[in-house]
Amino acid sequence: MAEAYDFPETGTVVDVGDGLGGLLVEILRRRPGLGGVLFELASALPDHVLGELGDDSRVRAQVGDFFGSVPPADVHVLEYVLHDWTDEQCARISRNCRRALNEGGRVVVVDAALPSGNEPHFGKLLDLMMMVAVPGGERTEADFARLFDQAGLRLTRALPTDGSLSIVEGVPRCGARPVRC
């Protein structure tokens, strides 16, 4: 993911629900001019791995609830987060990201985006597991486009990675409030 997406050289990336912060560490290792925030529930933060970056003032951890609000960012990353939640809950999380985006910012979702056809795909197995465990599930690119639309975002691209995950990018939709197009 850190390799596959063209993160900006400067600004702030907020990894929303990054767990221990491993993805954020990998992103910041590749972008010395970028700052980062690991945004998580208090219960998940004690074991974070941000120390792997050494004494790095670019990065910090912040406790919070993504259903309330998220910190401002140039890029909000949601990896393996939306598949835990219903469309309504995902729209709320995504809307909170849109509201907190800096000018020119983007929301980047990383999930096992399902192909629309009948071919085998790891995401379909994951979808079954999610169906049993949580209210959410895996989504197709069209599902993400609809979900983004509800959150005032426009899907700009869906990129494959070397693994079974896809990167789905959204930007604020013209006409959405507050307007940032």
Ligand X SMILES: C[S@@+](CC[C@H](N)C(=O)[O-])C[C@H]1O[C@@H](n2cnc3c(N)ncnc32)[C@H](O)[C@@H]1O
Q: What would the two tokens of residue 85 be?
A: 């939640």
Which amino acid, residue 180?
Answer: R
- Residue 143 in contact with ligand X, rule: CB under 6 A: no
**At its nearest, how many Å lie between ligand X and the CB of residue 44?**
4
Size, binding site for ligand X by CB under 6 A: 13
How far, in Å, CA of 63 to CA of 156, rounded? 30
Residue 76 annotated among the catalytic residues of the structure: no
- The answer to whether 67 contacts ligand X (rule: CB under 6 A) is yes
Tokens 């604020």 belong to residue: 172
Could you give the 3-state DSSP secondary structure of residue 29?
helix
Residue 107, CA atoms < 13 Å, CB-side half-sphere: 34
Cα 60 → chain centroid? 17
CB of 109 to ligand X, least distance (A): 11
Site for ligand X in 162-181 (CB under 6 A): none
CB 138 within 8 A of CB 129: no
State the minimum distance, in angstroms, from the CB of residue 57 to ligand X.
Answer: 23
d(CA 85, CA 136): 4
Nearer to ligand X, 84 or 141 (CB): 84
Judged by CB under 6 A, the residue of 2, 4, 44, 49 near ligand X is 44
Asked whether position 42 contacts ligand X by CB under 6 A, the answer is no
Site residues (CB under 6 A) for ligand X?
Answer: 17-19, 40-41, 44, 65-67, 79-81, 84
